[in-house]
């Protein structure tokens, strides 16, 4: 290809241990293993504003950098939909592609007396203040909207009564759950994987259309428990808006090659990532419709006018 990057960099807009960090590190390692980039990809953790700090840095200071990509997800679309990045909109950057989707989960600490999702919802209905959900995104963010949409499907009349506590990442939210300061966790399968394996948390429901394969096959969906809620958090990347067409081509092509590789299929299976394969223009359109959908839900709950 015409473009060949020197030192490559992936920006994860949150602390180590969360979904964006995971996406950067796994993709960087796999690109290197497959010989698609030379040397190692540097991962830079740039936290703040639920992705806003990273977005501002790319659009303001690094708009023409061809060697950098930024991890994004449904949380990014949520912030853009709600106008939470000052002056930011999705057209200021170029959308490269997705590398899978992460279905949402609702979990409690392993020693919790709650065994099923309907049980938890009954507690919420009886006394909304008795159950605080912790998530790794801001109020009105993806983890929050996921719970609200699930509560709505479960017959909670005023979803604004549902208590949500925001943390700067999924890892932090789980730590608070284990410390007993909140009663439930709303996040993604991949974020919770380590805590599931160690037996620290109990997954009440996976917000997927059907049971997942691999390590998460043992967990019931919300649907199976009579609550028709699905919450998929896509994982992908955007690049600076001023990136050259050659460089954009290079990144979309390499991400596609990565996605189709056996190595990546292995990463997906091990980490409970579901298929979602979009690149270039198709991904751009997908993000646009995500943004639109989230605006609608946000209006319903009075987050935006």
Q: pLDDT (tens digit, 9 = 90+) per residue, 127-181?
A: 999 999 999 888 888 899 999 989 989 999 888 899 999 998 888 999 999 999 9
Among 3.40.50.1100, 3.40.50.970, 1.25.40.420, 3.40.190.150, name the CATH number for the domain at 9-101+232-300: 3.40.190.150
Split at pLDDT 50, 70, 90, the class of 107 is very high
pLDDT at 1 over 60: no
Q: Strand pairing partners for 10?
A: 43, 69
- Delimit the domains of the chain by residue range: 9-101+232-300, 103-225
> For the segment 66-81, what is each residue's pLDDT rounded down to a tens digit?
999 999 999 899 899 9
Split at pLDDT 50, 70, 90, the class of 264 is very high
Cβ(240)–Cβ(65) under 8 Å?
yes
- At residue 49, the pLDDT reads 86
Among 3.40.109.10, 3.40.50.300, 3.40.190.10, 3.50.50.60, name the CATH number for the domain at 103-225: 3.40.190.10
Name the residue among 150, 139, 249, 166 with its Cα closest to residue 207: 150
pLDDT at 198 over 90: yes
- At residue 114, the pLDDT reads 97
Cβ(192)–Cβ(174) under 8 Å?
yes
Split at pLDDT 50, 70, 90, the class of 62 is very high
Q: Strand pairing partners for 279?
A: 97
Task: Report the C-alpha dihedral over residues 73, 78, 79, 80, rounded to 10 degrees.
Answer: 90
pLDDT at 125 over 90: yes
E-strand stretches of 50-194:
68-73, 93-109, 132-135, 163-166, 184-188
Name the residue among 183, 167, 150, 145 with its Cα closest to residue 300: 145
Angstrom distance (rounded) from CA 267 to CA 273? 8
- The average pLDDT across 272-299 equals 89
Angstrom distance (rounded) from CA 86 to CA 49? 10
- At residue 206, the pLDDT reads 94
**Phi, psi (degrees; rounded to nearest 5) at 98:** -110, 155
């Amino acid at each position: 290809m015409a473009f060949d990057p020197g030192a490559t960099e992936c920006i994860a807009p949150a602390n180590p241990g969360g979904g964006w960090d995971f996406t950067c590190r796994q993709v960087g390692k796999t690109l290197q293993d497959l010989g698609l980039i030379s040397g190692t990809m540097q991962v830079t953790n740039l936290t703040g504003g639920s992705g806003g700090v990273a977005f501002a840095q790319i659009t303001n200071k690094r708009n023409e950098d061809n060697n950098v990509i930024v991890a994004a997800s449904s949380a990014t679309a949520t912030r853009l939909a709600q106008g939470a990045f000052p002056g930011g909109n999705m057209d200021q950057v170029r959308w490269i592609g997705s590398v899978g989707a992460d279905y949402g989960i609702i979990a409690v600490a392993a020693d919790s007396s709650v065994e099923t999702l309907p049980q938890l919802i009954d507690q919420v209905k009886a006394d909304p203040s008795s159950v605080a959900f912790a998530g790794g995104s801001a109020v009105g963010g993806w983890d929050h909207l996921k719970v609200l949409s699930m509560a709505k499907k479960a017959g909670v009349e005023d979803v604004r009564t549902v208590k949500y506590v925001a943390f700067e990442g999924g890892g932090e939210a789980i730590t608070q759950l284990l410390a007993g300061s909140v009663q439930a966790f709303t996040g993604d399968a991949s974020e919770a994987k380590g805590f599931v394996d160690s037996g620290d948390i109990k997954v009440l429901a996976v917000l997927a259309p059907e049971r997942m394969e691999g390590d998460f096959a043992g967990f019931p969906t919300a649907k199976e428990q009579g609550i028709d809620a699905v919450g998929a958090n896509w994982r992908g990347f955007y690049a600076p808006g001023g990136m050259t067409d050659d460089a954009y081509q290079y990144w979309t092509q390499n991400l596609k090659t990565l996605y189709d590789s056996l190595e990546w299929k292995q990463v997906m299976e091990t980490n409970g990532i579901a298929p979602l394969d979009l690149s270039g223009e198709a991904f751009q359109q997908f993000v646009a419709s995500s943004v639109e959908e989230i605006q609608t839900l946000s209006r319903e709950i009075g987050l935006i006018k």
